[in-house]
């Protein structure tokens, strides 16, 4: 990727929508989209003493900067060009994971002994993070629909030593029939999306973007989110997240869960700049409670873009 978005890649409708959404910050968003993201890693505290590994990597010339919102996350200011090729990575002592991707598990607050579902888990970054936060105690079902992606998920679960994870292959839209209704203490759905938040990694998401594609994937997200919510116990917590900035894929999906009775909780997370979700967009009204959901723009923390919502199922 170059330092500028290629001419003609931004469609007129994209510019119209995001100028309306961000106003004077639109150009700032584009400038961050054009920059490569800072690489980051998540240290596995179940396999290695984090401070030991940080010291060891520093001795070998790495320059690390702690990520405020996750104790075991580090930005790699300087280090090997291919972080996935080191012995430390192959041994599962760390996972190469973008800093914003660590946010949804932190918001979910998994605890040892719980029964948790990760409905769209591949390639396993959040699933293995959740397993570590559970101290490998309890049960985490890591599910995905695509057999090829499940292979990557299973490989990462094994490499990270995530002993409490069961990997399954199933269409997430049939989660209640597969896993049961009202059975999980906590559920996370990091939904497939248009990936606009990942433009810093690849221009592909901008090239593929269109209102038609957004509407199509939004329908899938609503179906997955409703199914995930149905597997959640009364009183349980669910995180819905995406790596896109599209309201139809974010607030609109959460609005559909609210219509099912879900209550939006305000997340607790330190050291992260985030903005309230949208109360409305274009001709849609989502409701004031949507302000308790999180919009994380690339320019806010120098990360990828993300959206995160924490929901509670009433007892």
Please list the ranges in the chain whose pLDDT falls under 70. 1-3
Looking at the fold, whether 83 and 109 belong to one and the same domain comes out as no
Last residue of a domain, one of 77, 96, 115: 96
Q: What is the pLDDT of residue 32?
A: 95
Asked if residue 257 is part of any domain, the answer here is yes
Q: Are residues 109 and 48 in the same domain?
A: no
What pLDDT, on a 0 to 100 scale, did the predictor assign at position 6? Answer: 86
Q: Based on the domain organization, do 87 and 122 belong to the same domain?
A: no
Residue 148 placed within a domain:
yes
Give which of 245, 244, 262, 251 is closest to 286, Cα–Cα: 251
Is there a single domain that holds both residue 300 and residue 285?
yes
Bridge partner list, 264: 311
CATH number of the domain where residue 42 is located: 3.30.70.1170
Query: Which of 246, 214, 241, 243 minimizes the C-alpha distance to 303?
Result: 243
Residues marked as catalytic? 243
CB contact at 8 A, 294 and 100: no
pLDDT at 207: 92
CATH code assigned at 200? 3.40.50.150
Same domain? For 191 and 262 the reply is yes
Same domain, 140 and 158: yes
Q: Is residue 64 part of a domain?
A: yes
Q: Please give the mean pLDDT across all residues of the chain.
A: 96
The predicted structure's pLDDT at residue 8: 84
Whether residues 221 and 243 fall in one domain: yes
Q: Pick from 8, 22, 4, 24: which is nearest to 305 by CA?
A: 22
Q: What is the pLDDT of residue 217?
A: 98
Burial of 26 (0-12, 13-18, 19+ CB in 10 A): middle
d(CA 254, CA 225): 8
Q: What ranges make up the beta strands (E) of 47-92?
A: 63-66, 73-78
The string of pLDDT tens digits covering residues 129-169 is 999 999 999 999 999 999 999 999 999 999 999 999 999 99
pTM strictly above 0.95: yes
> How far apart are alpha carbons 160 and 304 in whole angstroms?
24
pLDDT of residue 106: 98
Residue 135 covered by a domain: yes
- Domain boundary residue, one of 50, 78, 96: 96
- Count: domains in the chain: 2
Q: Indicate whether 5 belongs to any domain.
A: no
In whole angstroms, what is the distance from residue 110 CA to residue 117 CA? 11
Contact call for residues 198 and 243 (beta carbons, < 8 A): yes
| pLDDT tens-digit map of 97-131 | 999 999 999 999 999 999 999 999 999 999 999 99
Q: Clarify whether residues 252 and 217 are in a common domain.
A: yes
The rounded distance, in Å, linking the Cα atoms of 313 and 230 is: 9
Are 40 and 24 contained in the same domain? no
Q: CA separation (Å) from 260 to 217, 253, 257, 279, 312?
A: 20, 11, 5, 18, 11
Q: Is 245 in the same domain as 178?
A: yes
Task: Tell whether 175 and 66 lie within a shared domain.
Answer: no
Domain membership flag for residue 286 = yes
Question: Are both 108 and 186 inside the same structural domain?
Answer: yes
Distance CA 260, CA 85 (A): 46
Residues in contact with 68: Cβ distance below 8 Å, sequence separation at least 6, in sequence order = 270, 271, 272
Q: Give the Cβ contact number of residue 84 at 10 Å.
A: 11
Residue 186 lies in a domain: yes
| Spatial CA neighbour of 94 closest among 82, 83, 108 | 83
* Residue that is last in its domain, among 96, 112, 140: 96
Q: Give the CA distances from residue 264 to residues 126, 161, 222, 254, in Å, rounded to whole numbers and listed in that order.
A: 21, 33, 16, 9
Residue 77 belongs to what domain range?
A: 36-96
Q: Is residue 1 part of a domain?
A: no
């Amino acid at each position: 990727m170059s330092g500028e978005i290629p001419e003609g890649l931004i469609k007129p409708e994209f510019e119209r929508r995001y100028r309306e959404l961000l106003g004077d910050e639109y150009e700032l968003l584009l400038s961050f989209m054009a920059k490569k993201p800072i690489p980051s890693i998540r240290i596995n505290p179940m396999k290695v003493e984090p401070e030991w590994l940080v010291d060891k990597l520093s001795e070998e010339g790495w320059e690390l900067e702690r990520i405020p919102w996750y104790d075991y996350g580090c930005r790699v200011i300087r280090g090997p060009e291919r972080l996935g090729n080191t012995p430390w990575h192959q041994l599962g002592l760390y996972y190469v994971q973008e800093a914003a991707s660590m946010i949804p598990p932190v918001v979910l607050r998994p605890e040892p002994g719980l029964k948790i579902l990760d409905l769209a888990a591949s390639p396993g970054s959040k699933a293995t993070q959740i397993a570590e936060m559970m101290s490998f105690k309890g049960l985490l079902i890591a599910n995905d629909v695509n057999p090829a992606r499940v292979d990557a998920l299973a490989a990462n679960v094994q490499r990270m030593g995530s002993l409490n994870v069961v990997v399954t292959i199933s269409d997430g839209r049939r989660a209640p029939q597969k896993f049961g209704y009202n059975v999980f203490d906590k559920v996370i759905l990091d939904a497939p999306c248009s990936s606009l938040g990942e433009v810093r990694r690849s221009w592909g998401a901008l090239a593929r973007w269109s209102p038609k594609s957004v509407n199509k994937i939004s329908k899938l997200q609503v179906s997955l989110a409703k199914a995930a919510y149905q597997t959640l116990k009364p009183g349980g917590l669910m995180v819905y997240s995406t790596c896109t900035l599209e309201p139809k894929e974010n607030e609109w999906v959460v609005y559909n869960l609210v219509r099912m009775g879900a209550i939006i909780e305000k997340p607790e997370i330190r050291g992260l700049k985030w903005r309230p979700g949208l109360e409305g967009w274009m001709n849609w009204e989502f409701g004031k409670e949507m302000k308790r959901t999180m919009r994380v723009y690339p320019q806010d923390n120098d990360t990828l873009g993300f959206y995160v919502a924490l929901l509670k199922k009433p007892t």
